[in-house]
């Protein structure tokens, strides 16, 4: 049974450029820090070409650029992209020149196959058919030897007091997300790390992330 605070309204509007442009127009909505799982999983990788999906205000893309990655950062919101570009420019030309900001709707955007050494999608919550289709397209765009890193909120969060949409179809375990990958072509790691968070009532609780890290085999 899920908690009463979870939302049950129609969330279809939340997947539009208009919704996110309006939300970002109210001001910064994220911390400005890179996602911890991205830092943990990527800091030891050799920099190359990276795709940051749902780049928001640019913290992850900027962190990757500071590590030497050449980044394509996509988001549905032009407002978010403009703010992210400002943040990157503030870090200096060496960082800003490594990032290409691109408006794209992940519902139908398709990157070129075997193009990126790293693809990162952090907390991209979509209805399951859309999410599965997106993950298939992203997987196809990973080069041999490249890494696909997907991080989402875990379905178990629906049983906590953390404010999550009451739509089970928008949440999946890492094992479920890995179904889009052909095991013979990938080295796959799945996990559900726990972390502390503060719920809407100000209580410190334990929540979980869904983490899928997969490396495309070179000889597959």
Rounded to whole angstroms, the Cα distance separating 66 from 82 reads: 19
Write down the pLDDT at residue 24.
Answer: 81
Tokens standing for 8? 């049950």
Q: Residue 1's pLDDT band (boundaries 50, 70, 90)?
A: very low
Predicted confidence (pLDDT) per residue in 50-76, tens digit? 999 999 999 999 999 999 999 999 999
Rounded to whole angstroms, the Cα distance separating 207 from 156 reads: 8
Predicted confidence (pLDDT) per residue in 65-121, tens digit? 999 999 999 999 999 999 999 999 999 999 999 999 999 998 889 998 899 999 999
- Other C-beta atoms closer than 10 Å to the C-beta of 13 total 10
CA separation, residue 46 to residues 50, 81, 146 (Å)? 11, 26, 10
Q: What is the 3-state secondary structure (H, E, C) of 127-182?
A: CHHHHHHHHHHHHHCEEEEEEEEEEEECHHHHHCCCCCECCHHHCCCHHHHHHHCC
φ, ψ for residue 212, nearest 5 deg: -120, 115
Q: Let me know if 200 is exposed, middle or buried by CB neighbors in 10 A (0-12, 13-18, 19+).
A: exposed
Q: How far apart are the first and last CA of the chain?
A: 43
pTM of the model: 0.89
Write down the pLDDT at residue 102.
Answer: 97
**What are the start-end ranges of the H helices in 12-54?**
17-25, 36-42
Tokens standing for 25? 């127009």
């Amino acid at each position: 049974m899920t908690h009463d605070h979870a939302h049950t309204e129609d969330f279809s509007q939340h997947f539009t450029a208009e919704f996110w442009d309006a939300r970002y127009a109210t001001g910064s909505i994220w911390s400005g820090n890179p996602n911890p799982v991205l830092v943990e999983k990527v800091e030891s990788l050799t920099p190359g070409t990276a795709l940051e999906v749902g780049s928001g205000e640019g913290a992850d893309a900027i962190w990757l650029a500071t590590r030497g990655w050449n980044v394509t950062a996509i988001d549905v919101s032009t407002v978010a992209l403009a703010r992210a570009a400002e943040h990157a420019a503030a870090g200096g030309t060496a960082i800003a020149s490594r990032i290409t900001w691109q408006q794209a709707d992940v519902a139908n955007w398709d990157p070129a196959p075997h193009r990126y050494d790293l693809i990162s999608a952090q907390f991209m919550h979509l209805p399951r058919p859309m999410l599965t289709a997106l993950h298939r397209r992203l997987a196809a765009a990973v080069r041999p030897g490249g890494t696909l890193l997907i991080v989402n909120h875990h379905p178990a969060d629906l049983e906590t007091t953390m404010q999550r949409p009451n739509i089970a179809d928008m949440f999946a375990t890492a094992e479920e997300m890995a179904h889009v990958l052909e095991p013979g072509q990938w080295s796959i790691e799945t996990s559900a790390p726990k972390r502390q968070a503060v719920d809407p009532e100000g209580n410190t609780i334990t929540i979980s992330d869904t983490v899928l890290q997969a490396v495309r085999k070179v000889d597959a």
